[in-house]
Amino acid sequence: MREGMSYDPVALHRNARPGHLACRDLATGRAWSYAELDAAIRRTVTVLAGTHGVARGQRVAALARNSVELLLLQQATLRMGAIFVPLNWRLAAPECRRILQDCAPTLLVVDPAVAPDGVADCRVETVAALAAAIAAAAPAGPLPPVPADLPCLILYTSGTSGVPKGVMLTGANLFFTAVNFGVVGQVSEASVFLCDAPMFHVIGMVTSVQSPLLRGATVLVAPGFDPQVTNDGLADPALGVTHYFCVPQMAEALRQAPNFRPEAWRLKALFTGGAPNPPANIRGWLKRGIRMVDGFGMTETGTTIGMPIDTALIDAKAGSVGLVAPATRVRIVDPGGEDVADGAVGEILVAGPNVSPGYWGRPEEQAVAFTADGWLRTGDLGCRDVDGFVFVVGRRKDMFISGGENVYPVEVEAVLAEHPAVEDVAVIGIADLRWGEVGRAYVVLRPDQEADPAELHDHCAARLARYKIPKEFRIVAALPRTATGKIVKQRLRDEARAEAAGAGGII
């Protein structure tokens, strides 16, 4: 990358759209035009470099709820050549401590209401103190250019299995993810994004922030997701929200809230990602007048694939994550690394300027994750139809083999989600003496609804081949999830193995 290339859209829009609303902090009501946001970023640089001695390549971490201060830290470190590391404040103190030891920040910014005490061996500053220091500081002058291929952001994965890894993202990665979502999501200078997804996640810090900033649009920052508050915001004509990105579980929480009024929304579309979204769910939203646009991406790749905002296509291709975005390349390959034919299932590989250069301090894991010619192995299995639409059928590690046949849990879950009594479902493979593995379905029923295992079995039998039908259906109160809504299937598998071992069965 050339050092002179600009991946700092705020610096552009301070002159191109100086008076346009850049961002508003919904918790405090404070607002910044693009000229004011640029000045605040330069004051943040003064505080980081002058008061705290942060230099190029050093890390600035945060354990705090969403706020514009986190946006300022991200933009300031980008300009300085430092690295911003927003952490999941829901983690326990030992988990936070391990991650902070891994990234070794120079400064940790905390929200005392949510951050554990005593987790860092570095200087600690509260969000409130940082905000006061920024307000009082003088704006920094011009800075030397920063190479766009240097890491500027580290996002730690949710760690559904094993210790979280720090995914490094560069200025170029952020820019091209913003380009990808901007095209897929039809983002313009008139767009208004509501960001209440956590800013320690790629949806919150990258998709919901970088995309509007690139186009000179507006970001509304909320401290976090609350179904009733978010419903009110989406329906508020004074806010005029056009773009909202969430995981499917957040969308379902909105639908279940008492103030759900989608007819009052002004959304171009409701964008979802991060977890499977069954076709029945997508078509259910269409019936309420809301285009639910599903997509595919990862912390390592940002927005990669997205459904066009077209009602007829969303309906016809429900269950697809859409078409490959412009600044990325996708292959679907067999175990030998050869491209599969249309309709065949294989692993999704991704390459392009949106793809992370790798993991912080994990060269061994990086070598496993990337092919020799630079393609990221996503671990997701998918297929592509003749029209180019991609369907994700599950994680490679989630697939199981029953009687010699491949079973993809996402397919079974989508069928169970069509049952009117089913609110949530997860399917895993468990050991079986006769078939090698069989399915076990964990089912959460909707309030005031009933369905027994025999009824769920018959529902599947009418729609699936026999080998795909779970052998066992368990009605449960809830499913284990990460902070970003992903089902932790590894916990279900661990519990199943422990149960089998305790019963003297095969594991």
Q: What would the two tokens of residue 309 be?
A: 């905002």
- Dump pLDDT digits (tens) for 24-82: 999 999 999 999 999 999 999 999 999 999 999 999 999 999 999 999 999 999 999 99
Picking from 106, 91, 112, the residue whose alpha carbon sits closest to that of residue 61 is 106
Higher-confidence residue: 278 or 20? 20
pLDDT tens digits along 394-416:
888 888 889 878 888 988 999 99
Sequence-separated (6 or more) residues with CB below 8 Å from residue 485: 247, 248, 249, 250, 274, 275
| Structure confidence at residue 275 (pLDDT) | 75
* CA distances to 106, 128, 142 from 137, in Å: 20, 14, 15
The residue written with tokens 């300022």 in the block is: 72
On the question of pLDDT at 3 being above 60, the answer is no
- Mean pLDDT, rounded, for 326-331: 96
Mean pLDDT computed over 158-164: 57
For residue 484, pLDDT over 80 is answered with no
Q: Which domains does the chain have, with CATH numbers?
A: 398-502 (3.30.300.30)
Nearest to 297 by CA among 307, 289, 287: 307
Name the pLDDT band for 162 (thresholds 50, 70, 90): low
- Residue 421: its pLDDT value, please? 96
Please determine, for residue 364, whether its predicted confidence score (pLDDT) is greater than 60.
yes
Contact 380, 486 (CB under 8 A): no
> What is the percent of the chain with per-residue pLDDT over 70, rounded to a whole number?
96
* Long-range contacts at 143-149 (CB < 8 A, ≥ 24 apart): 143/45, 143/79, 143/80, 145/3, 145/4, 146/3, 146/56, 146/78, 146/79, 146/80, 146/81, 146/171, 147/1, 147/3, 147/81, 148/1, 148/2, 148/3, 148/5, 148/7, 148/172, 148/175, 149/1, 149/357
- SS3 category, 395: strand
**Residue 144, SS3 per DSSP:** coil
Per-residue model confidence (pLDDT) at position 482 = 79
pLDDT, one tens digit per residue, over 251-273 is 989 999 999 999 999 999 999 98
What is the reported pLDDT for 1? 38
CA trace torsion 321, 327, 333, 339 (10° rounding):
120
Answer for the pair 300, 167: CB distance below 8 angstroms, yes or no.
yes
CA–chain centroid gap for 236, Å, is 25
pTM recorded for the entire structure: 0.86
Whether residue 224 has pLDDT greater than 50: yes
DSSP assigned state of 184:
H
Distances (CA, A) of 129 to 100, 134, 389, 404: 21, 9, 49, 61
Residue 160 predicted with pLDDT over 90: no
How far is it, in rounded angstroms, from Cα 3 to Cα 353? 16
**Mean pLDDT computed over 95-124:** 93
> If pLDDT is split at 50, 70 and 90, which confidence band does 158 have?
low
Mean predicted lDDT score pLDDT of the chain: 93
- Residue 61 or 465, more confident: 61
To 5 degrees, how large is the angle CA 218–CA 221–CA 227? 120
Give yes or no for residue 304 having a pLDDT over 50: yes
What integer is the mean pLDDT of 320-337?
A: 96
